[in-house]
Structure 1
Amino acid sequence: MTQSLNRRGLLIGGAVVGAGALAAACTGNDPEESTPSQQSVAAGGDNDKAGKQVTIGFSAPAADHGWIAAIAKNAAAQAKQYSDVTFRAVEPTNDINQQIAAVDSLISAKVGALVLLPNDGEQLNQVARKAMDAGIPVVNLDRVFPDKLSYRTWVGGDNYGLGVAAGDYIGTKLKSKGVSNPVIVEIQGIATLPLTQDRSKGFADALKTYGFSVTAKQDAKFTVETGNQVASNLLQAHKKIDALWNHDDDQGVGVLAAIKQANRKEFFMVGGAGSANAMREIKAGGLLEATVTYSPTMASSAIKLARLIAQGKGMTDLVERQVPQSITLASETVTKENVDQYMPLGFES
């Protein structure tokens, strides 16, 4: 278990350094070595031909989490594809007031568009609205602002669908095994976030169609350490488990370590987000049988959309002349049968 946690710590350290480098200055368009599992950019098209020069501001939480680190890397990598884009990333932070101040600095700099992944959508709603009122279109990434006037376009994953996919996988397998009254354990991310609540609702709704329900659930804050602690507590509380759903593959590193330490093998596990670490576990054929995607490539898409909006363009594949108000990514279930197809999109935990 210690080895897994230390490896994670080293990865986090590298991610933080990478994110800090992004924030140090405006990014030009110099080529940069990329890691396939960390950076994904979209292929070029008619809309990718050089147009009006725009500056895109970017703000996200601190990269103390593999998924967040990949968000920052994907955003920077996509911006580098365009000779007409200057990418201006502010220092990532988990402090609400510091993120508000950082976004304020981008507003004062009069950037052409702003891609913003807030630590908390409700708490950053006002500063996002301030940007919109100043004529700066905001592309709201992932954690949504409650006020639709605070963003031009939202792009993110299907959290409800993620829960449904996990519930369908577990429900189908338990039904096929003839299990009745199963013990189903759920480990959430941050329980207070709407995205977590959507995931749990989707999971519960899907299980209900099979006549099942969640036996116990607890949140693990999206961290390896808390994931390890919460899993250990749930394993001690339930001497027999039939299935476990863990919302987040990053915290899943700690969850898996706890399971291995307890030497529990009577159940199967489903993850969430689609990390490379989880996909390797799935391919190896262990307790973790599946994960449901929530890809950080959404940051690449957010940069593309911000550029189009700032340049007054629409999406060439659509009839409409303007970029849509919201774009929801599909939640795809990754299993041993299709894991090789999804591995290039995995991010390192």
Structure 2
Amino acid sequence: MINRRNFIHAALASGGAMLIPLGWTPRAHADDKKYTIGFSQATTLEPWRVQFNKDLKAEAEKHPNVNLLMADAEDKTEKQVADTESFITQEVDAILISPKESAGLTAVVEKAMDAKIPVFVLDRNVNSEKYTQWIGGDNVVIGRAVGDFVVKTLGGAGKAKGNVVEIWGGLGTQASHDRSNGYHEKADKESGIKHLLNQQSADWKQAKAYEVMSTALRNFEDINLVYGHNDPMAYGAYLAAKDAGREKNILFVGVDALPNEGVKYVHDGVLAATFLYPTPGAEGLRQALKVLDGGTVEKKLVLDTQTITKDNADAILKANGLL
């Protein structure tokens, strides 16, 4: 008799295609085979992650054979490690994890893989190749899209000119570095674009971005555009500028594009643009079930982005029943 979990793990760990034993056929999701899948979320303090959880729950409800266990790390790396170790102890069939930070979650992801539990890393990655699959948006690509928009908005290639405030999500998160690096690939080609701050982090939080922007407004009389690494921070910067009576002279750009948040901000004229960073929860569950049912998956699955401006914001709101 084949030990199914050991077989799946060995095939995935090899890095190649899964080899199917003679006489064994992969099944579609069978209702008589129940799966317990653990999901470790970094935090629910950010709107994007709240939507992430909703999307995952909605997908799980489509699969009556799935028992989904959800754990909130409450923005603490040590709790997320403990939550994941609990899933390992419970011998769940698969683990979905969205790390708070890469380095701090690497060891426990490797521990789960050593325990023959497939691990699907969602959004931020870990500092190892020892996982089943990574799923998420490409933050470098998103950053480049932001850079293209900023250059075009400030005058176009070779002519762009303006003072930009960039508000980082977190200096310890790869997502923030990628969103910055991709952006600077484009923006730094323009000698007329000046960046006023040096890696000021607001930890992805609206209130902290308000503080960063308030300081920038006191120190700089001429600010043309703000690039927040997510929509809550871009909105926090907008509120600071509004309180200072300067919001009409500054453009605000964010990332995430949740329909009821970033897209609505664009519709309302608060943000000039937002860039879709799709939540990976639903796809993560689908990919986990594919593996548990004997299928093969790519090592990395990149989700598409989209630029949202006044031109398409209304259509997105209508499609989501918000307009």
State the TM bucket, normalised to the shorter chain.
Answer: 0.7 to 0.9
Q: Please name the residue that 2:183 is paired with.
A: 203
Partner of 2:61: 80
Of 249, 271, 286, which residue of structure 2 is paired with 1:266? 249
Per the TM alignment, residue 277 of structure 1 is displaced from its structure 2 partner at its CA by 2.3
CA distance in 2, matches of 1:345, 1:250: 22
The aligned residue for residue 111 of structure 2 is 130
Q: Does the 8 A contact of 1:171 with 1:212 survive in 2?
A: no
Q: Hey, what's the Cα distance between the residues in 2 that align with 1:341 and 1:308?
A: 33
Equivalent residues in 2 for 1:23-172 (5 A)? 50=31, 52-149=33-130, 151-172=131-152
The alignment status of 1:186 with 2:166, answered yes or no, reads yes
For structure 2, the residue ranges without an aligned partner over 5 or more in a row are: 1-26
Change (3 A) 1:196 1:344: farther
- Structure 1 CA distance, aligned partners of 2:160 and 2:99? 42
Please, which of 202, 209, 228 is the counterpart of residue 210 of structure 2? 228
The C-alpha deviation readout for 1:238-273, integer Å capped at 9, x for no partner, is 211222211111223322211111111222121111
SS of the equivalent of 1:110 reads coil
Identify the residue that residue 31 of structure 1 maps to in structure 2.
none
2-side partners of 1:294 and 1:133: how far apart?
31
User: How far apart, CA to CA, are the structure 2 residues paired with 1:177 and 1:211?
Assistant: 10
Q: CA RMSD in A?
A: 2.3
Q: CA deviation at 1:132?
A: 0.5
CA contact (8 A) 1:67 1:250 kept: no
Question: 2-side partners of 1:162 and 1:225: how far apart?
Answer: 24
SS at match of 1:283: helix
Tell me the equivalent position of 1:329.
303
- For 2:204 and 2:319, locate their aligned partners in 1 and report how far apart those are by CA, in whole Å: 20
Shift of 1:178: 9.0
Aligned partner (choices 292, 314, 338) of residue 275 of structure 2:
292
Closer, same or farther in 2 for the Cα pair 1:345/1:250, shift >3 Å?
farther
In structure 1, distance between residues paired with 2:317 and 2:186: 26
Report how many aligned residue pairs link the two structures: 291
3-state SS of paired residue (2:203): coil
Q: 1:199 to 1:88 in 2, by over 3 A?
A: same
Question: Which whole-Å deviations, capped at 9, do the CAs of 1:143-170 have from their partners, x for residues lacking one?
Answer: 1011111x10000111111111111011
RCO (CA 8 Å, sep 6+): is it higher in 1 or 2?
A: 1
Residue of structure 2 equivalent to 1:278: 262
In 2, distance between residues paired with 1:212 and 1:305?
45
Q: Is the 8 A contact 1:78 1:303 kept in 2?
A: yes
Shift, 1:324, TM fit: 0.8
Q: For residues 177 and 168 of structure 1, what CA distance do their matches in structure 2 show? A: 9
Distance across 1 between alignment mates of 2:257 and 2:118: 30
Are residues 96 and 106 of structure 1, via their aligned partners in 2, closer, same or farther at CA, if it must alter by over 3 Å?
Answer: same
SS in 2 for 1:124: helix
Q: Which amino acid aligns with 2:317?
A: M
Is the contact between residue 266 and residue 313 of structure 2 (CA under 8 Å) also seen in structure 1?
yes
Shift of 1:208: 2.9
Q: Which amino acid aligns with 2:277?
A: Y
Q: Equivalent of 2:225, from 235, 243, 247?
A: 243
Does structure 2 conserve the Cα–Cα contact (< 8 Å) formed by 1:204 and 1:213?
no
Change (3 A) 1:161 1:200: same
Structure 2 CA distance for aligned equivalents of residues 188 and 344 of structure 1: 31
Give unmatched runs, 5+ long, in structure 1: 1-45, 314-321
- 1: CA distance, partners of 2:249 / 2:158: 15
